[in-house]
Structure 1
């Protein structure tokens, strides 16, 4: 502890004062000099013991901090009496917990990134493999009709990869926090109309009926473009669910607490074990023949939640699946 400059200076001052007062005491009275020496010795011992204990405690805290910095798994901070060291220890404990939480979050993000890259690789490998097979068949096949069929299939596969890459890019931008959502008044009726537009031809070909019950004048605050993107993913999921000759009902409820848009289809509904995972990335359900990439609903949830809304899904009591998109007032 005498390596500390302040302690050395205090010790020098104490010894100097002790020497001076001892000399003065002996000059005045020998008993006073002796009493001064005894008092100085007792005070010196008490000061030494107190300082030594404090330095030992500081050394323990320093060792524990060093263990934290070297990522020790198990740390024990002993109890401390009230005072400056207790406050310091409390702050060290907070720092330790915060570092561990950040470390766990980084590990989780690293694992999520690794899993996501593996999923992306798998999702891209499947259509790429199919394209390679089609190209090899084109080289060997001279029939014009079969060539056109193979080229059409290749075009569809490239379209799927384009959709996948575009969706992944959007998710990456959302995760990175670089997307700035507009705050504008969005008319629900117009939003639903625009969201349905890309699917009108497909729905007509598959004889899918759309019933809408959207009162005029209902508005929410958000980004029209991104909300349309989110709604299109819900509608796309409903269209794939109902198949041919199906029906989709879209309704809107508005009250003093929230505005809710409901998408109800008459398809087969969800498997019970799939419902908790519907909005997870790359989750395609237990059905091995499930179509899609499992990112549309994940993108939908991210977009809606970032704009203060919620989206849930479940099986409707009357059959089929139902999605609820809700925005609080």
Structure 2
């Protein structure tokens, strides 16, 4: 029997069997020799046998419980991040066979984690190298395009083409920068320097960034919120996240529309709300807008590249926040960013 492969189980089985045999032999002897008070002695032997069996079982199960507690502790250690945690399985038996399989699974998971880490690092290095290689030709193309604009001031058709080429160069540069930021976040190579930042100041910086575009496109950028609310965050990355959402709002609104940024604080969280009255998001797209390079079949005329919102989500979640979106076609879209306020113990 495989269950008896374990020495401790075999020992327990043997002790119980010996106790039962001794009790049986003594009982037969008391009956055969018809000793005085034989029933009393049989009862006494039965009691002794029960005590020995119970003691043996208690000792065995207590030891098994300690082994299981140790195994659970090692599993908890592994879940907590200790990749070296292992369950001791240097004996035979079904339980130790299970422990061995758990250790094998841990080794496989560690191998997958390491392969994923290497793959992410390779991707980061590759995109970083490509990005740096692209910077030089992009800079040169921007210079050439600027020279062409100067030379074609009196040629409206060519001037129009140079303006369009400048926009495309800006898109390429934005794509390269966003790809580089996302891969750095994926690889975990970015350390956020969190400090207590004034939310009104950060949103004021966002407003300044889009002030010229709002004027050019005749759109209204409305801000409202308490000027004394603070948020524990990395200022530059949080502004990046907010600007991506505001840019998305500008891309999906028309002349005369508005983009509203509100911020408020409750007992447990800071909330930033970015709302517009633009075209809205189609219900089919709502569950996909945070996927990289996702392009809706309902907005083919837009110039987005599908990286701004995924990058925003990564930044918000890296700050232990959440991002929600609510939208209605033809009525507008609302993005809600929630950040828990750390409790002071």
Is residue 293 from structure 1 mapped to residue 325 from structure 2 by the alignment?
no
Deviation at 1:96, TM superposition (A): 3.5
Q: Distance between the aligned counterparts of 1:109 and 1:164, measured in 2?
A: 24
Is residue 151 from structure 1 mapped to residue 158 from structure 2 by the alignment?
no
TM-score of the superposition, structure 1-length normalised? 0.61
Counterparts of 1:254-265 in structure 2, within 5 Å, are 254-265=265-276
Aligned twin of 1:91: 99
Q: Distance between the aligned counterparts of 2:330 and 2:190, measured in 1?
A: 39
Deviation digits for residues 12-36 of structure 1 (CA, Å, limit 9, x no counterpart): xxxxxxxxxxxxxxxxxxxxxxxxx
Indicate if the aligned counterparts of 2:271 and 2:337 stay in contact, CA closer than 8 A.
Answer: yes
Q: Which moved more, 1:159-168 or 1:146-155?
A: 146-155
Of 283, 294, 302, which aligns to 2:294?
A: 283
Indicate if the aligned counterparts of 2:282 and 2:328 stay in contact, CA closer than 8 A.
Answer: no
Q: Distance between the aligned counterparts of 2:230 and 2:321, measured in 1?
A: 14
Counterparts of 1:1-80 in structure 2, within 5 Å, are none
Aligned twin of 2:229: 218
SS in 2 for 1:84: coil
Report how many residues are paired. Answer: 232
TM-score of the superposition, structure 2-length normalised? 0.59
Of 218, 230, 244, which aligns to 1:207?
A: 218
Deviation at 1:156, TM superposition (A): 1.6
Q: Which runs of 5+ in 2 are unaligned?
A: 1-88
SS in 2 for 1:242: coil
Q: Distance between the aligned counterparts of 1:290 and 1:98, measured in 2?
A: 47
Deviation at 1:253, TM superposition (A): 2.1
Q: Distance between the aligned counterparts of 2:255 and 2:338, measured in 1?
A: 29
How much is the aligned-residue C-alpha RMSD, in angstroms? Answer: 3.5
Q: Which runs of 5+ in 1 are unaligned?
A: 1-81
Q: Distance between the aligned counterparts of 2:323 and 2:179, measured in 1?
A: 20
Q: Distance between the aligned counterparts of 2:237 and 2:189, measured in 1?
A: 14
Indicate if the aligned counterparts of 2:278 and 2:333 stay in contact, CA closer than 8 A.
Answer: yes
Q: Distance between the aligned counterparts of 1:292 and 1:96, measured in 2?
A: 46
Q: Which moved more, 1:159-168 or 1:313-322?
A: 313-322
